[in-house]
Amino acid sequence: DAGITQSPRHKVTETGTPVTLRCHQTENHRYMYWYRQDPGHGLRLIHYSYGVKDTDKGEVSDGYSVSRSKTEDFLLTLESATSSQTSVYFCAISELGEAFFGQGTRLTVV
Amino acid sequence: RKEVEQDPGPFNVPEGATVAFNCTYSNSASQSFFWYRQDCRKEPKLLMSVYSSGNEDGRFTAQLNRASQYISLLIRDSKLSDSATYLCVVRGDSGNTPLVFGKGTRLSVIA
């Protein structure tokens, strides 16, 4: 399995609090992605990175920010969590071929 | 039009059946195509890449039709263990474009 880990794996947080999810890779892949998955919507891209400090928005980026200060880490921050951000979050890494996914973070905003 | 569209499913088939999934994509400049499998509450995992000439891996066959912007996945002799959601995935025309996922097609193989 590709060396990609997400932390935390599960989190419950209160509305209005900031939350940071971490994705860490040991594969030295250039591209990193954050997706969210919700019933009826499939996987939707939040943000992605194509290099250190190079990031771009996906289709559902509102309310989220990202940072990539080094190749191996890609952080996703919910500035002020809302109930609509309750979801399963997946990180993925790739070079120019297929992507490999982390095990996901289940986030519940109450 | 969505970038990647799949048959919504669910497909409920008996063991041993042959089942086909279809996927269309909107970006004619797309360069890379994949099928992923996702089990309930798990991360997606690569099933197979899709090449222009078509490719086969055991009971699984993938086809690409660039003219029609269409990808297919055929599963022969379905097994109970094939029950999962199958995701069609497309990458755009440059290295900095992300992978785009279809919503997935759910397959249930029944004994």
Q: What is the pLDDT of residues B31-59, one digit of tens each?
A: 889 999 999 989 999 999 998 888 999 99
- How far off is chain B from A43, nearest CA to CA, in Å? 6
Q: Any chain B CB within 8 A of the CB of A98?
A: yes
Residues of B in contact with A45 (CB under 8 A): 98, 100
Distance CA B98, CA A16 (A): 30
Residue holding tokens 């089990």? B39
Residues of chain B with pLDDT under 50: none
For range A36-48, the mean pLDDT: 90
Which pLDDT does position A57 carry in this prediction? Answer: 94
Which pLDDT does position B97 carry in this prediction? Answer: 76
Torsions phi, psi of B80, nearest 5?
-55, -35
Which pLDDT does position A14 carry in this prediction? Answer: 97
Q: Any chain A CB within 8 A of the CB of B2?
A: no
Distance CA A66, CA A56 (A): 9
Q: Any chain B CB within 8 A of the CB of A47?
A: no
Residues of B in contact with A41 (CB under 8 A): 103
Closest CA to B102 of A91, A84, A45: A45
Which pLDDT does position B34 carry in this prediction? Answer: 95
Torsions phi, psi of A84, nearest 5?
-70, -10
